[in-house]
Structure 1
C-alpha cells in the first residue's frame, strides 16, 4: 500500500513525533509498504495534493496540529483515509477542560477542576484545595505540568503556560499510582501500571528518559481493577466519539478507585510505547498493530463515504 506518514509538525512535541515516525517507517517498509515520510512543518502547503496521491495516511503527530483534528479534517477533504479518530473527537479529547465536561456528563470518574483560559485577575484565588496539579489545557507529553504547593509555585507554573500561548487547567492532587489502558477497535487492551523511577508522577523525563519509569504490562493489579480500567477506557472513548484507537490515563487510589485523567487520540507509537506494549501482550507485534490501525481506518473511511 502507498502510505503517507505524517510527522513532525510545529508543536513542542515535534522531536518526539519525528523519532516515533522513523520507527513506524521502518516497520511498514519491512512489511512491503511504499512509505512517503512527510514533515508537516516543512510541507504543510502540499498536504492535500500529496495525500490525494496516496492510498492511506498514518498520522504520528502530538499536540496541535494533529491531535486537534486539523490534519484529519484536511485529509477528509482530500478523500484520503487515515487511522484513528475524526476531527470532532480529536478536538474534544485534546482540550482537557472540554473533555472533562463530557466525562462528567457521562458519569465517568474525573477529578474536580478549574479552567483558566487567560491569566487570572488581581485578587483571584483558586477554589480548589492545595496542593494543586497545574496542566497545559491542550498540551501533551507532560510538558508544562507541575505541582503547586503554594501561590508562588502556582504563579510560576501559570506564567509558563500562558507565555506559551496556552490555557491552564487546575486539579487537586490525587494520591495513587498511574495506570493507562488502550483501546483498539472495540476492545480494551491490557492495562499498564506506571512507576516513575524518580519523583512521584509521570512527567516528561519519566516518559522519555532511559530508565525514567517502569512500565509493567500487564499491570499486576486485582482483576476487578483491570476490568474497571478497560470498562472506563471504552466508555471514555465512546463518550468522546473516538474511533480506531485511543489511550486513557488514570490515577489508582490506595483504596482501589480509578480516576480518569485524560484520553489520548494519537498515543505514542514506537515499538516500546504504551499501546504497542499492550498489543504485544495479545500477540500483536508492532508492524501488525500498524496494519490493524490501517484496517480500522479504511473501514471507517468506507462507512463515511457510503453514508454520504
Structure 2
C-alpha cells in the first residue's frame, strides 16, 4: 500500500480465501451489573448473518469470539482477513481499539477503523472537540468527572434550558433513558450521579436539540459515500423525544423509520456533507453511522458517530437505513468488504464490476 486509503495499482492484489468474523457474544448481565452491561455485544443471530453473507461471496468463514481463548483461536484459524464486529472487553474507553490493535500486531488486515479512530470516536467529548475544530456542528456539551465539576451547572443552565445527560463513552444508547433530559441544575446533578454510580465513568451534559433525529450511513475511505439515511421518530409524537435504550429495545412498537424521501433535498445534501466531513475528520475507514439532531434553527448537529455500527439485518440502524434507501443487506456487506479489500490491496473476485471500493 502507498497509504492507508488505497493500494498502489502496480502492486498485484493478494488473494483471500479465509475470513474470520470476530465478535463479542451478548449475554445476560450478572448480579450487581447494569441490565444494559452487554447491550453493545451481538447476539449469535447477527454474527451468523454477517458470516453467512460473507460466505455467500465464496469465502471460507470462521467464527472467532473475543474471549479468554481469542489468541489461540485466531492463530489456529489463520485468517487472511477479519470482519471485526467486536466491541472489546471491559469498561475502558479504549476497549473498541482492542481487536484492531491485536490484528495490526499480527499483520492481519481487517475491515473498519484502526484503534486510534475507534477510541476517539467512542469518547463523545473528544469526538465533539474534533468535529467542532473542523467546522462541523455539534451540540454544546460539558464533561463531569467528579464533585468538583458540579458547580458549573448553574452557569450552563443560564445558557440552555434543557440538557441530555449520558455516559461519556458508551454506545447503543447505554445510559440514555426516557428521563435523561434535565430541566434544572438539580435534575442534571441527579442524572450525573446516576451515570457515575451505574457506569463508573464521566457523565456528559449535552444540550437538548428539539428537532428531528436523522441517522446517516457512510462507507468508503478517501472518497466516502453515503449509504443512505433515515428519519427516526416516535410512533406517538411527543414534545421531548430521545432515541433511548427503552425505545431501541421496543422499536417495533415505539419507533417509526422513514427513508430519505421524508427529508427535504437541501437538508439531505447538508447531512451528507457533514457526515462525510466527520468521517474524514476522524480518519474513519470502510463504514460508520453518523447520528444527527436538528437544533431550533433546523441546523443538523452530530450527536454521535459510530465507526463500529451494528449489522443485524433485522434491527440495526445501518442496515435499516440502507434498506430504506433502496439497498439490500448483501449489498451493504459487499460494499464494506469492497472498501476494506481495496484499502488493503486484496483481491475480491465476488465484487461486481464497477463496485465502489474506495
Q: TM-score range by the shorter chain?
A: 0.7 to 0.9
Equivalent residues in 2 for 1:1-308 (5 A)?
1-8=17-24, 12-16=38-42, 18-46=44-72, 49-50=75-76, 53-62=78-87, 68-116=96-144, 118-121=145-148, 124-126=151-153, 127-129=155-157, 130-145=161-176, 146-163=180-197, 164-185=199-220, 186-197=224-235, 200-209=241-250, 210-253=252-295, 255-272=297-314, 273-280=316-323, 283-302=326-345
Q: Which runs of 5+ in 2 are unaligned?
A: 1-16, 27-36, 347-358
1:177, 1:193 within 8 Å by CA — same for their partners in 2? yes
> Could you tell me the TM-score, scaled by structure 2's length?
0.76
Q: Which runs of 5+ in 1 are unaligned?
A: 304-308
Question: Partners of 1:261 and 1:123 in 2: how far apart?
Answer: 22
Question: Partners of 1:286 and 1:190 in 2: how far apart?
Answer: 12
2:88, 2:96 within 8 Å by CA — same for their partners in 1? yes
1:132, 1:148 within 8 Å by CA — same for their partners in 2? yes
Residues 79-106 of structure 1: CA distance to partner in whole angstroms, max 9, x if unpaired? 1111111111111111111111111110
Partner residue of 1:306?
none
> Could you tell me the TM-score, scaled by structure 1's length?
0.87
Displacement of 1:121: 2.7
Question: Partners of 1:63 and 1:132 in 2: how far apart?
Answer: 29
Partner secondary structure for residue 108 of structure 2: coil
1:5, 1:59 within 8 Å by CA — same for their partners in 2? yes
Partner secondary structure for residue 262 of structure 2: coil
Question: Partners of 1:133 and 1:123 in 2: how far apart?
Answer: 15
Q: Which moved more, 1:161-170 or 1:226-235?
A: 161-170
**What value does the CA root-mean-square deviation take over the aligned residues?**
2.5
Q: Would the alpha carbon gap of residues 144 and 33 (structure 1) be closer, same or farther in structure 2, given more than 3 Å must change?
A: same
Q: Would the alpha carbon gap of residues 15 and 69 (structure 1) be closer, same or farther in structure 2, given more than 3 Å must change?
A: closer
2:88, 2:97 within 8 Å by CA — same for their partners in 1? no
Q: Would the alpha carbon gap of residues 14 and 237 (structure 1) be closer, same or farther in structure 2, given more than 3 Å must change?
A: closer
Q: Which moved more, 1:279-288 or 1:200-209?
A: 279-288
Displacement of 1:204: 1.3
Q: Which moved more, 1:125-134 or 1:234-243?
A: 125-134
Partner secondary structure for residue 266 of structure 1: coil
Question: Partners of 1:23 and 1:33 in 2: how far apart?
Answer: 14
Q: Which moved more, 1:91-100 or 1:272-281?
A: 272-281
In the comparison of the two structures, how many residue pairs are matched?
A: 301
Question: Partners of 1:235 and 1:192 in 2: how far apart?
Answer: 18
1:12, 1:63 within 8 Å by CA — same for their partners in 2? no
1:181, 1:248 within 8 Å by CA — same for their partners in 2? yes
Q: Would the alpha carbon gap of residues 220 and 7 (structure 1) be closer, same or farther in structure 2, given more than 3 Å must change?
A: same
Question: Partners of 1:27 and 1:237 in 2: how far apart?
Answer: 25
